Amino acid sequence: MQKTRFNFDFMGKRKIGLALSSLLIIISIISIATEGLTLGIDFTGGTLVEVGYAEAVELDLIRTALSHSEFSNAVIQYFGSANDILIRIPPSPGLDNADISHRTLRLLADTGLNPDLRRVEFVGPQIGKELREEGGLAMIYALICIFAYVALRFQRHFSVAAIAALVHDVIITIGLFSITRFDFDLTVLAALLAVIGYSLNDTIVVFDRVRENFRKLRDTTPATVFNVSLNQILSRTLVTSLTTLLVLIALFIFGGEIIHSFATALIMGVLIGTYSSIFVASPITLALGITKKDLMPVQKEGVEADNMP
Amino acid sequence: MNHYSLWKYILILFLLGLGILFALPNLYGKDPALQVSATGSSAISQLTEFQVSTALEEAELAFKAIDIGPDSLVIRFNNEESQLKAQPVVEQSLGRNYVVALNLAPATPGWLDSLGAEPMFLGLDLRGGVHFLMQVDMAAAISKAEEAYRADIRSSLRAQKIRYKTITRHKSGGLLVRFKDDEERDKGQALIADDFPTLDAVLAEAPSGESQLRVTLKEQNVLDTQKLALQQNITTLRKRVNELGVAEPVIQQQGLSRIVVQLPGVQDPAVAKKILGATATLEFRLVDDDHNVQDAIDGRIPAGAELYYQRSGLPILLEKQIMLTGDSIIDAASGIDGESGGPNVTIMLDGKGAKRISRGTRDNVGRRLAVVFIENKIAVVEKEGQLVETKQITKEVISAANIREQLGRRFQITGLDSTQEARELSLLLRAGALAAPIYIIEERTVGPSLGQDNIDQGFNSVMIGFALVLIFMMVYYKIFGLIANVALSLNLVLIVAMLSMLQATLTLPGIAGIVLTVGMAVDANVLIFERIREEVRNGNSPQASIHAGYEKAFSTIADANITTLIAALVLFSFGTGPIKGFAVTLSLGILSSMFTAIMVTRGLVNLIYGGRRLDKLTL
């Protein structure tokens, strides 16, 4: 038997993991179905204007300035600090989109305080729709490509489990965005794809070790192989998650308001991704009935036996 | 065991040297500069350089250097103050045929410059500026092309004595030719097929007692027309952007009907938007003073006339026949009218236009000539529950003055509201009309203050995240941690070098990609070091453990990185603008981290531990 620093019975607890994951997924799906997502203007279309003031301003001042205009349905909020204001103007009929930002600024200047225009984003309804569709497609393409690669490099059972873990991660991360009502925009979508990359990275490392141990350990049940493998690489899993989280937290705190939802999605994703490679990908592979026979080397991997202690 | 051959060290040193060299230009910062480019027939030459330097010396403005390039002149200054002061001086010394734009020129030393090393190309979200995505109205381009055939079809039918009634627009696109009977229609169809091989003429459903043909463009013709419209619009936009005086603009085709325009450093998107999207043009028509305007308002518009409104809101009847369109205008300049003191635009026509207007005004001295200002605007309206963009065309009569004498190549128009409007109109007339209307379907503007904030915050978060990881690695893996840290630092240098070399656009999400890479890059080293620890725990000798650790971790690292790379590539192929930036840095980061985390650390480990007798590993 191999010596390991840790000796947790992960597979014995797989029912708990399964229950937890199912619960999170159900909550996520319910929330997405009923509450939906707070889609950013990238996907809905509309206009977003960010203005900066020299000193803190009252939101009410801005609200009053815009309330009697064509932008009475604008959503106004602070962005990062009380000096920064974010104004969202939904697309609406009869609104000439060409100079919304200009007209907004003129209305704001009427209050006597002259803000600095920091950012304008305008997305036409057509583009919003396209980005929505393309975003979904990108997600599906990524999953298909990954499925193919894992099936080729490992084995079908692993492939199915890896994809299941990824879908699990994506659903729960989106679910968290739905529950917390954070803005879901294009950068969050990018973050989700990065989460897919990260979570998969983690899963692959687990599978790699599982494959190796299936070939190496004799007279063990598949569950033991998984347990031994997970324990062997547990410190690697924790260290890598930690360093990644360290930089993400730096990004979250110091990266500015624009990058906030992006960093949030990644932080959630890294946590969920780490969890899922242990408690989702591994039990599913096990449940799919993987055996030693499935993994006996086709290539010249026999050299490994020489290195056995 | 644990020896690297010399060529491996040489390869590592060579790649790192190359990386450091290409990352170097990013350390030098940028000079405030003016960029002079020529428009129209003028060119940049030694003479231009001489004119500029003389003018600056006369004005006692110090400058660092003047670099002369094939199509632009860059004048560097020590500070922004002299840059701003110098702009009007340079503009005046060169005259109207040159555009002088504010710019930041990289202060890369000459020897690096000659190697082709440049600093990273910053995206608009970092340097500030405007990004537009514009949709070309292809339906309008097609119907314009169809209209162009109308007169040709008419004369062809007449030449063959085929009797037709009218040629009008078909309600679902194309032209509608009405004939007396089926026989004439069939003759017409055969004629169109012979004379116009790029047109389709099909039988149209007609009320009894009539025979009709619907004429449309053939598919290839439609594609060609669309391509041409896109190309012409890009050319016109380029001219307009040049007139605006923007340094390093990007004007690119995207897909089959869209154009991306990026204007770095533009601080007032409103003006840029107005000028780029404007489809303003002019039409000259005679005023119909013979008929009663009131009758026309009541719905009885006399034949050969059309009802228009003036800026004041007063109605006016104009002749249907257009004397001249904006297409004939080759130059225009705004100024002040000597008599009225109001703004005016002096217009210069091409030969054909000059002939038309002199013929048209010769016999009409004393009558009034109206100048119609035509503009396309886009508004969002609700249609069947969905929001869609629709065109709105406004036509206004800006002036209707008596023709005092026969007009020629050059004349003036007045009646504009402000000098600003006169300036914009003259700019639009100079740069030419758009082949088809365009409208903005996406805009992203980043103000200069936010751009700088984004750079600072991005830089800070990279540095802090980086420092945290370095500290952690050192504490957790000791000497091996230090080795990993060297590799991680070199990884960062390599990413910057590759971004500079490829001149890929660095965006804020791109910086986030670098941050993420820093976090994930140590993964490879963590895998290796954990494996080495395991081997040691299993009772192997330190040297054998190092060897086995690198060996066994390799396939895991490769698999893990390739799958992440797949996700990054999908992101790249789907992504627009900022997302692409993220995908690029993530992919480059994965590649360079494989190199530094495996080869560089192995090289260092071999240098330190290789070929020695080891009792213990500090790990």
Per-residue model confidence as pLDDT tens digits over B3-44: 888 899 999 999 999 999 999 999 888 888 888 887 656 778
Please determine, for residue A301, whether its predicted confidence score (pLDDT) is greater than 60: no
Contact A149 B468 (CB under 8 A): no
Question: For A145, which of B469, B552, B566 is closest by C-beta distance?
Answer: B566
Please determine, for residue B132, whether its predicted confidence score (pLDDT) is greater than 60: yes
Contact A102 B567 (CB under 8 A): no
Across B173-192, average pLDDT: 88
* pLDDT tens digits along B438-461: 888 888 888 878 888 888 998 898
ipTM score of complex: 0.86
Domains of chain A: 11-39+127-307 (1.20.1640.10), 46-123 (3.30.70.3400)
Residues of chain A in contact with residue B562, where contact means CB-CB under 8 angstroms, are 149
Rg (CA), chain B: 34
Among residues B283, B274, B233, the alpha carbon closest in space to that of B253 is found at B233
Residues of chain B in contact with residue A101, where contact means CB-CB under 8 angstroms, are 269-270, 443, 445
pLDDT band at A269 (very low <50, low <70, confident <90, very high): very high
Contact A117 B567 (CB under 8 A): no
Residues of chain B in contact with residue A52, where contact means CB-CB under 8 angstroms, are 447, 449-450
Contact A95 B548 (CB under 8 A): no
How many other C-beta atoms lie within 10 A of the C-beta of residue B138?
Answer: 16
How many other C-beta atoms lie within 10 A of the C-beta of residue B570?
Answer: 24
Tokens of B202: 């099909």
Nearest residue of B to residue A48, measured between CA atoms: B444
Contact A235 B530 (CB under 8 A): yes
d(CA B8, CA B13): 9
Contact A205 B560 (CB under 8 A): yes
Nearest residue of B to residue A147, measured between CA atoms: B563
Using alpha carbons only, give the angle B487, B488, B489 rounded to the nearest 5 degrees: 90
CB pairs under 8 A between A and B: 261
Among residues B463, B512, B522, B481, the alpha carbon closest in space to that of A248 is found at B512
Please determine, for residue B77, whether its predicted confidence score (pLDDT) is greater than 70: yes
Residues of chain A in contact with residue B539, where contact means CB-CB under 8 angstroms, are 309
d(CA B188, CA B85): 68
Question: For A247, which of B133, B515, B567 is closest by C-beta distance?
Answer: B515
Contact B559 A189 (CB under 8 A): no
Contact B442 A134 (CB under 8 A): no
Bigger pLDDT: B172 vs B197: B197
Per-residue pLDDT, A308: 41
d(CA B24, CA B111): 12
CA distances from A129 to B406, B571, B577 (A): 55, 18, 17
d(CA B99, CA A179): 53
How close is the nearest chain B Cα to the Cα of A291, in Å? 21
Tokens of B336: 């002040």
3-class DSSP state of B525: helix
Cβ atoms of B386 and B337 closer than 8 Å:
no
Per-residue pLDDT, B39: 66
3-class DSSP state of B121: strand
Cβ atoms of A83 and A55 closer than 8 Å:
yes
Among B389, B394, B443, B572, most A C-beta atoms within 10 A, so best to mutate, is: B443
Per-residue pLDDT, B329: 82
Q: Average pLDDT, whole number, for chain B?
A: 85
Among residues B38, B126, B141, B55, the alpha carbon closest in space to that of B93 is found at B55
Residues of chain B in contact with residue A243, where contact means CB-CB under 8 angstroms, are 469, 472-473, 519, 522-523, 526
d(CA B617, CA B598): 19
Q: What percent of chain B has pLDDT over 90?
A: 20
Contact A194 B567 (CB under 8 A): yes
Per-residue pLDDT, B144: 80
d(CA B29, CA B61): 22
Q: What is the DSSP string of B74-115?
A: EEE-SSHHHHHHHHHHHHHHH-TTEEEEEEEEE---HHHHHT
How many other C-beta atoms lie within 10 A of the C-beta of residue A109?
Answer: 12
pLDDT band at B377 (very low <50, low <70, confident <90, very high): low
Contact A3 B520 (CB under 8 A): no
pLDDT band at A307 (very low <50, low <70, confident <90, very high): very low
Contact B556 A208 (CB under 8 A): yes
How close is the nearest chain A Cα to the Cα of B408, in Å? 37
Q: What is the DSSP string of B310-378?
A: BTTS-EEEEESS-SEEGGGEEEEEEEE-TTT-SEEEEEEE-HHHHHHHHHHHHTTTTSEEEEEEEEEEE
Residues of chain A in contact with residue B457, where contact means CB-CB under 8 angstroms, are 254-256, 259
Please determine, for residue B588, whether its predicted confidence score (pLDDT) is greater than 50: yes
Please determine, for residue A94, whether its predicted confidence score (pLDDT) is greater than 70: no
The tokens 């190359």 sit on which residue?
A: B18
Among residues A12, A7, A13, A52, the alpha carbon closest in space to that of A228 is found at A7
**Those residues with Cβ within 8 angstroms of residue B393's Cβ, 6 or more apart along the chain or in another chain:** B374, B375, B376, B377
Among A243, A244, A248, A264, most B C-beta atoms within 10 A, so best to mutate, is: A243
pLDDT band at A273 (very low <50, low <70, confident <90, very high): very high
Residues of chain A in contact with residue B576, where contact means CB-CB under 8 angstroms, are 131, 186
Total length of chain A: 309
Nearest residue of A to residue B537, measured between CA atoms: A3
Per-residue pLDDT, B128: 86
Cβ atoms of B347 and B410 closer than 8 Å:
yes
* pLDDT tens digits along B276-325: 777 667 788 899 888 888 888 887 888 888 889 888 888 899 988 888 88
Please determine, for residue B99, whether its predicted confidence score (pLDDT) is greater than 80: no
Contact B538 A309 (CB under 8 A): yes
How close is the nearest chain B Cα to the Cα of A81, in Å? 14
The tokens 């406004």 sit on which residue?
A: B394
pTM, full prediction: 0.78
How close is the nearest chain A Cα to the Cα of B41, in Å? 33
3-class DSSP state of B516: helix
How close is the nearest chain A Cα to the Cα of B496, in Å? 18
* pLDDT tens digits along A168-213: 999 999 999 999 988 898 888 888 888 888 888 889 899 999 988 9
Cβ atoms of A198 and B520 closer than 8 Å:
yes
Weakest-pLDDT range from B74-78, B246-250, B388-392, B553-557: B388-392
In the beta sheet, which residues pair with residue B442? A123, B133
Contact B515 A245 (CB under 8 A): no
How many other C-beta atoms lie within 10 A of the C-beta of residue A292?
Answer: 13
Residues of chain B in contact with residue A131, where contact means CB-CB under 8 angstroms, are 576
Contact B461 A250 (CB under 8 A): yes
What is the phi/psi pair of residue B470, to 5°?
A: -60, -50
Q: Average pLDDT, whole number, for chain A?
A: 85
**Those residues with Cβ within 8 angstroms of residue A294's Cβ, 6 or more apart along the chain or in another chain:** A155, A157
Contact A246 B519 (CB under 8 A): yes
Please determine, for residue B120, whether its predicted confidence score (pLDDT) is greater than 80: yes
How close is the nearest chain B Cα to the Cα of A66, in Å? 19
Tokens of B407: 């007009």
Q: What percent of chain A has pLDDT over 70?
A: 92
Contact A247 B586 (CB under 8 A): no
Contact A247 B540 (CB under 8 A): no
Contact B570 A250 (CB under 8 A): no
How close is the nearest chain B Cα to the Cα of A192, in Å? 10
Contact B534 A232 (CB under 8 A): yes
Question: For B567, which of A45, A122, A142 is closest by C-beta distance?
Answer: A142
Please determine, for residue B578, whether its predicted confidence score (pLDDT) is greater than 70: no
The amino acid at residue B128 is G
In sign, the C-alpha dihedral spanning B363, B366, B368, B369 is positive
Among A207, A239, A252, A300, most B C-beta atoms within 10 A, so best to mutate, is: A239
CA distances from B608 to B3, B44, B546, B567, B618 (A): 10, 58, 12, 37, 12
Cβ atoms of B256 and B226 closer than 8 Å:
yes
Nearest residue of B to residue A127, measured between CA atoms: B441
In sign, the C-alpha dihedral spanning B512, B518, B521, B523 is negative
Across B228-239, average pLDDT: 87
Please determine, for residue A19, whether its predicted confidence score (pLDDT) is greater than 90: yes
Across B344-373, average pLDDT: 87
* pLDDT tens digits along B513-542: 888 888 778 899 999 999 999 999 988 999
d(CA B203, CA B221): 20
Run of H or E including B438: strand B438-446
Per-residue pLDDT, B477: 92
Cβ atoms of B127 and B451 closer than 8 Å:
yes
User: Per-residue b/e over B368-407, b at no fewer than 16 CB within 10 Å?
Assistant: bbbbbbbbbbbbbeeeeeebebeeeeeeebbbbeebeeeb
Per-residue pLDDT, A309: 40
Per-residue pLDDT, B493: 94
How close is the nearest chain B Cα to the Cα of A288, in Å? 22
* Sheet with B164-169: strands ordered across: B164-169, B175-179, B211-217, B199-204
Among B135, B279, B441, most A C-beta atoms within 10 A, so best to mutate, is: B441
Contact B579 A93 (CB under 8 A): no
Tokens of A52: 């900066």
Across A26-45, average pLDDT: 91
CA distances from B462 to A189, A199, B582 (A): 21, 22, 14
* pLDDT tens digits along B470-524: 999 999 999 999 999 999 999 999 999 999 999 888 888 888 888 888 877 889 9
Contact A118 B446 (CB under 8 A): yes
Burial class (CB in 10 A: 0-12, 13-18, 19+), B249: buried
Per-residue pLDDT, A303: 44
Domains of chain B: 6-24+450-609 (1.20.1640.10), 30-107 (3.30.70.260), 139-220 (3.30.1360), 280-419+426-433 (3.30.1360.200)
Per-residue pLDDT, A153: 83
3-class DSSP state of B571: helix
CA distances from A107 to A79, A88, A202, B201, B469 (A): 19, 15, 52, 54, 47
Contact B519 A193 (CB under 8 A): no
Among residues B25, B35, B21, the alpha carbon closest in space to that of B107 is found at B25
- Helices A156-180 and A125-153 cross at an angle (nearest 10°) of 150
pLDDT band at A97 (very low <50, low <70, confident <90, very high): low
Cβ atoms of B354 and B421 closer than 8 Å:
no
Per-residue pLDDT, A161: 92
Tokens of B321: 């026949």
How close is the nearest chain B Cα to the Cα of A205, in Å? 6
Question: For A309, which of B513, B539, B561 is closest by C-beta distance?
Answer: B539
Tokens of B421: 């409007």
Query: For chain A, what is the HEC assignment?
Result: CCCCCCCCCCHHHHHHHHHHHHHHHHHHHHHHHHCCCEECHHHHCEEEEEEECCCCCCHHHHHHHHHCCCCCCCEEEEECEEEEEEEEECCCCCECHHHHHHHHHHHHHCCCCCCEEEEEEEECHHHHHHHHHHHHHHHHHHHHHHHHHHHHHCCHHHHHHHHHHHHHHHHHHHHHHHHHCCEECHHHHHHHHHHHHHHHHHHHHHHHHHHHHHHHCCCCCHHHHHHHHHHHCHHHHHHHHHHHHHHHHHHHHHCCHHHHHHHHHHHHHHHHHHHHHHHHHHHHHHHCCCCHHHHCCCCCCHHHHHHCC
Among A4, A53, A246, A274, most B C-beta atoms within 10 A, so best to mutate, is: A246
